[in-house]
Structure 1
Amino acid sequence: MNVDQKLRDLKDEYQSDIPTSFTEKDKQNIFKTISQDTYPKRP
């Protein structure tokens, strides 16, 4: 088993465990935060 194959196996294993997309509720919360101007200001 070479390094590339090990890397692919690890990627496949963890990719299913880590959510990589936003839910509709996440999108609404982000939009709400942006529209209300409640995010921290940069100095």
Structure 2
Amino acid sequence: TVLDTMAQIEQKRGNAIEAEEISQRAEKIRAYHRPIAKATK
């Protein structure tokens, strides 16, 4: 996802805290979308 890519860029820059926050946000979005995706299938 876009957030995952952003996290990878931050990690390359050495922004570990920023990358961690972005990956946590990405994880929340994934967790939110999973049940919806299952329901539509």
TM-score (norm 1): 0.39
Larger RCO: Structure 1 or Structure 2 (Cα < 8 Å, ≥ 6 residues apart)?
2
Q: Give the structure with the larger helix fraction.
A: 2
